[in-house]
C-alpha cells in the first residue's frame, strides 16, 4: 500500500497575466520556485509544475530544470508559441533512487536559443508541487 510521506507546494502566482518576468538567456537561469520535502528510503517523489509564458519576439526555446538539493535530476526543452502568443506549459517527473532525508526541490528556467530575435516573458501561473511517497 502506498503511503504519503510529505507534500509541498510553492507558487509565485496561480493566475495568468499576474506577473511580468523576462526569461534570461542561458547560461543564466531564473529560479522560478522551490520547496523542501521529506523522503523515505525506497520512496519516490512526484513533481508537477505549470508555467505560463508569453512570447514577445520569435520562437524562443525554453529549458526547464528540476534540481534536488542543487543537483539537476530532470530537464525539459520546450519551444514557446509564436510572437505575442501565450501558452501554459506543464511538466511532471517522478524522482526516485535517493536516500531518506529532507531535500530542496528547485525549478529553474532559461532561454537557450541565444538571439535577441527570440524572447519570452513569464506571465503566470508559476506553480510547483511535490508529493513524497513510499
Give the range of the structural domain holding residue 24, as residue numbers without chain letter. Answer: 4-133
pLDDT in tens, 71-86: 999 999 999 888 889 9
pTM for the whole thing? 0.93
In total, how many domains does the chain have?
A: 1
Question: 112: domain CATH number?
Answer: 2.60.120.1340
Dist. CA 51–CA 91, nearest whole Å = 9
Q: Which three cell numbers stand for residue 133?
A: 511517497
Q: Which three cell numbers stand for residue 52?
A: 505560463
Local confidence pLDDT in tens for the 134 residues of the chain: 899 999 999 999 999 989 999 999 999 999 999 999 999 999 999 999 999 999 988 889 999 999 999 999 999 999 988 888 999 999 999 999 998 999 999 999 999 986 778 899 999 999 999 999 99
Q: Which three cell numbers stand for residue 87?
A: 501558452
Amino acid at each position: 500500500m502506498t503511503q504519503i510521506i510529505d507534500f509541498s507546494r510553492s507558487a509565485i502566482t496561480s493566475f495568468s497575466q499576474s506577473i511580468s518576468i523576462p526569461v534570461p538567456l542561458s547560461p543564466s537561469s531564473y529560479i522560478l520556485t522551490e520547496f523542501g520535502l521529506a523522503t523515505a528510503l525506497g520512496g519516490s517523489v512526484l513533481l508537477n509544475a505549470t508555467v505560463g509564458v508569453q512570447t514577445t519576439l520569435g520562437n524562443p526555446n525554453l529549458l526547464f530544470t528540476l534540481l534536488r538539493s542543487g543537483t539537476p535530476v530532470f530537464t525539459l526543452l520546450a519551444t514557446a508559441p509564436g510572437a505575442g502568443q501565450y501558452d501554459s506549459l506543464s511538466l511532471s517527473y517522478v524522482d526516485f533512487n535517493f536516500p531518506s532525508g529532507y531535500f530542496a526541490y528547485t525549478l529553474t528556467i532559461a532561454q537557450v536559443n541565444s538571439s535577441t530575435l527570440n524572447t519570452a516573458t513569464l506571465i503566470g501561473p508559476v506553480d510547483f508541487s511535490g508529493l513524497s511517497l513510499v
